[in-house]
Amino acid sequence: MAAPAQALTVSRPFSPSHAHARKQLSPALLGCTLDELTAIAVELGLPRFVGKQLCGWIYDKHARSFDEMTNLSKAARTLLSTHYVLGISTPVESVESRDGTIKYLFRTVQGHYIESVFIPDGERATLCVSSQVGCKMACEFCMTGRQGFMSQLTAADILNQVYSLPERERLTNIVFMGQGEPMDNIDNVLRATEALTAPWGYAWSPKRITVSTVGVAKGLRRFLDESKCSLAVSLHHPNPTERGAMMPAERAFGIEPLVELLSQYDFCRKTTDDYAEGTKQRRLTFEYIVFRGINDSLEHGRALVQLLAPLDCRINMIRFHTIPDTRFDGTDETAMLRLRDYLNAHGITTTIRASRGQDIYAACGMLTTKRMEEERA
């Protein structure tokens, strides 16, 4: 596959801490809660307050090594480094788009590649993170789905995409819309979102974080019950049969029972009274890649209105980022606008996502696929 024109590529070697983690496979402290860090300190024979100090060094000061933790004794730092790693690693490659979007390639402790995408947009800066290596869902239009499933990401793997991001301090939002199905790795996704939102962690508002899903029932129920983060559902077609033809997950837990499940939960309403009272703060969005001749007609719009009638939600229409050897084509701008306007006129707030990073392997999974092909060559 030829590299897109005019993309700026910067490659970086593994950091020493990453190499150490790969050799030792020691437990990572990144992703641990304050209580867990305190328990680790006590288990090592250190004072309980070391747990709080570790929390500060990891989630506030973003230490790159134990040696930086200068309010811990040298003996304590040596003891910690003997039994644990921080669980951090710098990107091994980055590719920057003309529009400012940057795709980062990380390598996990197990040696797999994952992608993150930094998307600046005025005062807003979003990071799209991965939750798995590969994916089991096998969506026909997704490059990551073609890789198959290789490994779950740990909470440290997920958080490292934030921790080691050069633009970390600019972030305003995080979306779990990278490689993998978050609800199929729900334990580690919930651990990561807890660290991002807890007072002892990054202390972000849950409203700044959105987690996506194709509709994995067991994990989704846990997410709805245990998290206050917003939810994005990968819909892409209102007809179950047609959706199942391109998204095999439909056959396991269909879109109609998914809508029924979501209708039992309290999401953000357009009326300001409920929102001002601090209830219904989660936003529910349906992601809808628009394909020419497949899901872009007004007939599909009418089906969407009927399907989503029980929910207070919005639709985010997405232009298709072409991948190799696919039967899908993105629809034209006229059809996009016609469908958007129809949905808005029938009570569903609908927007068209601005396409970003189209010159840098924009589709999810393309950069990791490129790197894996290079290493096999």
Asked about 115 being catalytic, the answer comes back as: yes
Asked about 364 being catalytic, the answer comes back as: yes
CB atoms within 10 A of CB 2: 5
Element holding 256 (H helix, E strand): helix 255-262
CB atoms within 10 A of CB 52: 15
How does DSSP assign 91-116, residue by residue? -SEEEE-TTS-EEEEEE-TTS-EEEE
* Bridge partners (DSSP) listed for residue 284: 231
Please give the Cα distance from 199 to 195 (Å, whole number): 8
> Could you tell me the CA-to-CA distances from 47 to 53, 76, 84, 201, 369 in Å, in that order?
10, 10, 17, 20, 46
Please give the Cα distance from 71 to 46 (Å, whole number): 13
Half-sphere exposure of residue 105: CA atoms within 13 angstroms, side-chain side = 25
Is-contact 104 91, C-beta < 8 A? yes
The residue annotated as part of the active site, out of 115, 181, 250, 287, is: 115
- Sequence letter at residue 220: L
Angle at CA of residue 228, ends 222 and 234, nearest 5°: 65
Catalytic machinery residues: 115, 364
